[in-house]
Amino acid sequence: MVPPPLQLSHNSTVLHLEHRLEGGRTVNRWVEDCLSSDTCQSTVQEVHLGPDFLDSLSLAQGFFVLEELGEYRNLQRLYIRGQRPNTDKDNEDHLVTTTSLSLRGLTTLLRNARQQGHMLQVLHVEDVTWHLSTGDAHDCWEEFQTALQHQTELQTVSFLQWEMVTSHGEPFVTQHRKDAVWQLDSFLQTLCCLSQLTVLHVELASANRCTFDGNALARLFSSTQLLELHLSHIPLTKMHLRMLAWAVRKDPLQQLSLKYGGLGDDDLTKLCFYLGNCRDLQQVDFTGNEFGNVGCTALAESLAHSTTLSRLSVLDNPHIGPEGYASLAKLLHQNTNLVGLQAGGSTTANPYRASMKESMEKNQQLQQAVVDARNTKAAHAA
C-alpha cells in the first residue's frame, strides 16, 4: 500500500507533495489518479514538491508529475526543493545534489500552463540537478529558456544551487571549453525579458561551472520593478558594479544580496556611494567577499543615517579587522533602526567585541549579532 503523499490545504488551493513514494507501477497509478483529478486541476494555486517525494521518482516519473502540473488551470506558485547538496570529496568547490529531474519536464509544465491560459507568478527551484536529453542537450536548454521567457507574469524567480547534466550524467557544455559548462549570461538575458519581475535570487552551485561575461546584467539592473536582488557565487567585476550602481539608485530596491561575489575594498567603496541614497533599502548582505577595513568603513558610513535599513550582514569576510569592527560599532550607535547585524572576522578583531556589545546595548532595537568567525554569538533583545 502506497502511503498518501498528497496533502491539500483546508481550502484545497495549496498542494504539498512531500512524502516518499514506494511501489513501482503503483507510483505511476497513484500519480495519474491523484494529480489528474479535477479537484486538483481546477482549484490548486500553489504546489510544493519536497525532496523525499522527488527522490522517490525516476526521471520518467518526475517528467510525468511536472507535465501533469502544467494542466492545473489556476496554478500560480510552484516550489521545487531537492535535497541539500553535499560536498564532493574530489572537488570541494563542487556541490552535488541527490535530486534529479528532467529539464524537459519543467519546460513542458511552462508550455502547458501557457496553453491553459494562465501564467505562473512564483517559480522557486532549489537543490536540483536538471537532466537534459543527451542527443540534443543544447536544444533542450534553449527550449526551456524560451518557455520561461513566455511566462510574462512571473514576479518571483529563484534558482538556487542547481546543476545541469546530460541524461548520461555528463556535464552540460554549451561551448567547446574544458572549463565551461554552460553560459550564465543567456539565462540572465531570459530573466531580463520578464517585465513583471520584482524578486530575483540566483545562487550557483559552484562558481567555476559556467561562463559569465555579465553583459546581460545591464538590462536587469536598469529595471524599475526590481524590489529584491540576490546574486550568490557570481563573480562581479567593476563593469558589473557600475551597472549595479544604477540599480541601487532606483527607489524600489529593498533588498540587496551580493554573497561571494569577490568584492574588494575599492569595489565596495564605490558602490556604497550610492547605497546611502537608496531610500527604500531594508536589507543588505555582503557575506563572503574580499573587502577589509576600508570597505567595511565605507559601508558603515553610507548606512549610518538610513531610515529604512533593518538588517546588515558582512559574515565570512576575513580581511575585516579592528578598524572595520570599530566602524560597525559606530554604525550600531548611530543607526537605531537596525534590528539585525551579522558580522564575522578574524580573532585579531576580538578586542572590539566589547565595543560592539556596548553599542548593541545602546541600540534598543537590535535583536541579533554575530561577532566573530568562531560563531560566538552575542544577542540583545528589546
Domains in the chain, start-ordered, CATH in brackets? 6-213 (3.80.10.10)
Kindly tell me if the per-residue pLDDT of 378 is higher than 50: no
SS (H, E, C) the chain: CCCCCEEECCCCCEEEECCCCCCCHHHHHHHHHHHCCHHHHHHCCEEEECHHHHHCCCHHHHHHHHHHHCCCCCCCEEEEECCCCEEECCEEEEEECCCEEEHHHHHHHHHHHHHCCCCCCEEEEECCEEEECCCCHHHHHHHHHHHHHCCCCCCEEEEEEEEEEECCCCECCCCCCCCCCEEHHHHHHHHHCCCCCCEEEEEECCCCCEECCCCCHHHHHCCCCCCEEEEECCCCCHHHHHHHHHHHCCCCCCEEEEECCCCCHHHHHHHHHHHCCCCCCCEEECCCCCCCHHHHHHHHHHHCCCCCCCEEEECCCCCCCHHHHHHHHHHHHHCCCCCEEEECCCHHHHHHHHHHHHHHHHCCCCCCEECCCCCCECCCCC
Least confident of 55-69, 84-98, 220-234: 84-98
Q: Are 313 and 284 in contact (CB under 8 A)?
A: yes
Instruction: Tell me the angle at which helices 103-115 and 59-69 cross, rounded to the nearest 10 degrees.
Output: 20
**Average confidence (pLDDT) over 316-344:** 88
Measured CA to CA, the distance from residue 106 to residue 373 in angstroms comes to 40
Structure confidence at residue 1 (pLDDT): 36
pLDDT band at 247 (very low <50, low <70, confident <90, very high): low
CB atoms within 10 A of CB 24: 11
Please, what is the average pLDDT of the chain?
A: 80
Measured CA to CA, the distance from residue 196 to residue 19 in angstroms comes to 34
The listed range with the strongest mean pLDDT (174-188, 282-296, 343-357) is 282-296
pLDDT band at 137 (very low <50, low <70, confident <90, very high): confident
CA 99 to centroid of chain Cα atoms: 17
Measuring CA to CA, which residue among 369, 276, 286 is closest to residue 320? Answer: 286
Q: What would you measure as the largest C-alpha separation in the chain, in angstroms?
A: 65
Measured CA to CA, the distance from residue 352 to residue 102 in angstroms comes to 51
Cα four-point dihedral sign 132, 85, 95, 215: positive
Kindly tell me if the per-residue pLDDT of 193 is higher than 90: no
Pairing of strands 86-88, 91-96: antiparallel
The listed range with the strongest mean pLDDT (95-109, 149-163, 251-265, 328-342) is 149-163
331-376 pLDDT tens trace: 988 888 888 888 875 444 455 556 666 666 665 555 555 454 333 3
Structure-block grid coordinates of residue 194: 520578464
**Average confidence (pLDDT) over 65-86:** 90
Measuring CA to CA, which residue among 175, 162, 286 is closest to residue 236? Answer: 286
Least confident of 157-161, 264-268, 271-275, 316-320: 271-275
Instruction: Write down the residue that cell numbers 522557486 correspond to.
Output: 124
Kindly tell me if the per-residue pLDDT of 167 is higher than 70: no
263-287 pLDDT tens trace: 999 999 988 888 877 888 899 999 9
CB atoms within 10 A of CB 341: 24
pLDDT band at 26 (very low <50, low <70, confident <90, very high): low
C-alpha gyration radius of the chain? 23
Structure confidence at residue 117 (pLDDT): 84
**Average confidence (pLDDT) over 165-193:** 69
Measuring CA to CA, which residue among 209, 34, 223, 75 is closest to residue 129? Answer: 209
Q: Are 78 and 120 in contact (CB under 8 A)?
A: yes
Give the residue with greater pLDDT, 370 vs 165. Answer: 165
The model's pTM: 0.84
Give the residue with greater pLDDT, 248 vs 264. Answer: 264
